[in-house]
Chains A and B, each alone.
Chain A
Amino acid sequence: MSDLTLKSIRKSYGAVEVIKGIDLEIAHGEFVVFVGPSGCGKSTLLRMIAGLEEITAGSLHIGNVLCNDVEPRDRGIAMVFQSYALYPHMTVYDNVGFGLKLAKAPKDGRDKKIRDAARILQMEHLLDRKPSQLSGGQRQRVAIGRAIVRQPEVFLFDEPLSNLDAALRVDMRMELSKLHQELGATMIYVTHDQVEAMTLADKIVVLNGGEVQQAGAPIELYQHPANLFVAGFIGSPKMNFLPVTVKGIEGDTIVVQADEIDDLRVSIPGATARPGDAMTLGIRPHALRTGADGPIKGTVDLVERLGNETIVNFRLGGGTQWLAVLDGDMPLHRGQTVGFTAPEGEPVLFDRDGRNIAIANPQAEKAA
């Protein structure tokens, strides 16, 4: 069993702080995805877990062992790199068996492990080839095979699919998911592709600027984003935002208004807000419905009719661009004025600091 615990992990290059104190618990067997824009520190964090980057401050426990200064080979980890990093002068067989050879594993056991890994990945016929004779997908398999054969407690993947073409990426994604179920090992996966994150993860960790923005199950993050950044990052197409002012409160329902929209009722149980508070309204494109007398009025800029759904680009009165994804085929056309409604439970409100008021309410914290 090996849980992974990160306690206020920090990383600085000179005066520049890249990772600003990350606390994270990863349970054994979990598939965790680090996701975030480029430069957010997700790869650095992974490399710190691997032992390729030094940890400036904080502690990293793998299992119950403090691993800050443990050599990568003794951490019980294996890593798959974005560029695969296969040894070009060795055959696939030797590539996969290189780690075992270094560990001086007996030849019979080594052979069995290599062939087992090859069977799991269906690449037995490739064992005698050199990496230069393989396609991208096959190279990826070899790189994963090299990781499997070490029988690690934790697999680390650094954007492993970003060098593959779109169709192959979908296939490999499913295979990785199957592999996770088969091996039952902990996997940590870095990507900037939120679709990969949503489909693969048991738990997504959204990073930005070297800090964890939110960690949780994919659907949790989609439905209850902790802040503006997560709301904008998770979900495709992107969530629509608009600055609004609280007009009134009726029980659990907050009525907001802005110049560009009429009064909109948002139902947020337990949230406290005061009339006059400035907030940011967020509505997912999929939550919008057409309704002639809806509070959101916009002029259609672009209609993409896909048959099963219609994607509408429209402009609010003040010029803010929004997006709506409507079910079925909608014969809208450019320049048309359309009204939209959103069910009371769907919109999200963020306070002045960008936090979702349904989750973290600073006023409530202060009162407590």
Chain B
Amino acid sequence: MTLVRRYGLTVAALIGAGFVFVVPFLFIVLTAVKDRTQAAQLDFTWPTSFPLWENFWTVISTRDFMLITAYINSTILTVGSITLLVILAAMVGYVRQRRKAWWNGLVDFLVLAGLMMPPAVVPTIWLLQQLGLFATLHGMIFIEVAYNISFCIILYRAFVATIPREMDEAAIIDGARPMDIFFRVILPMLKPVTITVIVVQSVAIFNDFVNPLYYLPGNDNVTVQLTLYNFQSQFNTSYNLLFMNILLVTIPPLIVFLFFNRQIVAGMTSGAVKG
């Protein structure tokens, strides 16, 4: 009785959470190692055969090793976007927090507008075409930066507020020029929130399916999420290969998240509490 009372709720919560988080993942893993016929039933049964290597090789080698190209593209896209996001958002957040100017209100409005207004796809494509950036990887990087920078600016701004202004002044007295102050003193102190931004945004950008679908057509430009279409079509879907593909695409972000879990939470809350 006391055992139930003490641990009952905990166990119930764990079972509930396990059901929500673990069962779908188990389903992916199980389906990925089945053969085609059994996978097509889409049920929760133990695989009768384990064509693990065949499924893996087929997924990798399909359409002239498209998944490898996709990995390279997604990595470039993610690393490029994150680098720009971190530097630009930290700079804007820092200047916006420190400098009192009459256009602050306007800047805040634009930042919030970036969060609230839904992106319009067709005009954006037209603009990209005019600029010669449509269906290019660097054009896609700009899109990801534009869509995500507002959120990052808000995170950075809250965190910069916790850094005493005397820090900047000490650096000024030490002879630092504005760029030195930012890159040598402020940016290193923003490390917790930078880790948050890196993890949250890299997962978001790596997993982005819709935006590359709109803005990045073409077989050479494919990103990992778009490779899912290789095994799914209107009349013919290889579920075992589709789920193997999902598994391969899910693992990298999962590893990032497992490693940086603690820092993410610290970065998310430290700005908020002291703000």
What is the interface of chain A, defined by CB distance below 8 A to chain B?
50-52, 72-73, 77-79, 81-83, 85-89, 98-99, 102-103, 146, 150
Contact A85 B164 (CB under 8 A): yes
| B167 beta carbon closer than 8 Å to chain A | yes
Contact A99 B175 (CB under 8 A): yes
Given contact pairs A87-B189, A89-B188, enumerate 5 new A-B contacts (beta carbons under 8 Å): A79-B170, A87-B185, A89-B191, A98-B184, A102-B176
Interface residues of B in 65-117 (CB under 8 A from A): none
Please name all residues of chain B whose beta carbon is closer than 8 Å to the beta carbon of A77 when the two chains form the complex: 173
Which of B164, B169, B174, B176 has most chain A Cβ within 10 Å? B174
A77 to B166, CA, bound (A): 16
| B172 beta carbon closer than 8 Å to chain A | yes
Please name all residues of chain A whose beta carbon is closer than 8 Å to the beta carbon of B191 when the two chains form the complex: 89
B174 to chain A, nearest CB (A): 4
Contact A83 B164 (CB under 8 A): yes
Residue of B nearest to A97 (CB): B174
A159 to B189, CA, bound (A): 25
Residue of A nearest to B187 (CB): A89
A150 to B171, CA, bound (A): 13
Secondary structure of the A side of the interface? loop
Contact A88 B174 (CB under 8 A): no
Please name all residues of chain B whose beta carbon is closer than 8 Å to the beta carbon of A79 when the two chains form the complex: 169-170, 173
Partner of A102, one of B164, B180, B188, B189: B180
Interface residues of B in 125-158 (CB under 8 A from A): none
A245 to B36, CA, bound (A): 112
Interface residues of B in 182-210 (CB under 8 A from A): 184-185, 188-189, 191
Please name all residues of chain A whose beta carbon is closer than 8 Å to the beta carbon of B164 when the two chains form the complex: 83, 85
A86 to B163, CA, bound (A): 12
Contact A50 B173 (CB under 8 A): yes
A98 to B170, CA, bound (A): 10
Counting from the closest, the 7 A-B pairs by CB-CB distance are A73-B175, A99-B174, A85-B170, A85-B166, A89-B188, A102-B175, A79-B173
A110 to chain B, nearest CB (A): 13
Partner of A88, one of B166, B169, B189: B189
Contact B169 A81 (CB under 8 A): yes
B31 to chain A, nearest CB (A): 47
Known: A85-B167, A87-B167, A102-B180. A72 touches B173 (CB 8 A): yes
Contact A72 B172 (CB under 8 A): yes
Partner of B174, one of A51, A82, A146: A146
Name 5 interchain pairs, CB-CB below 8 A, sorted by A. Answer: A82-B166, A83-B164, A85-B167, A87-B167, A89-B188
Which of B166, B171, B175 has most chain A Cβ within 10 Å? B175
Please name all residues of chain A whose beta carbon is closer than 8 Å to the beta carbon of B171 when the two chains form the complex: 87, 98
Which of B169, B176, B189 has most chain A Cβ within 10 Å? B169
A146 to B189, CA, bound (A): 19
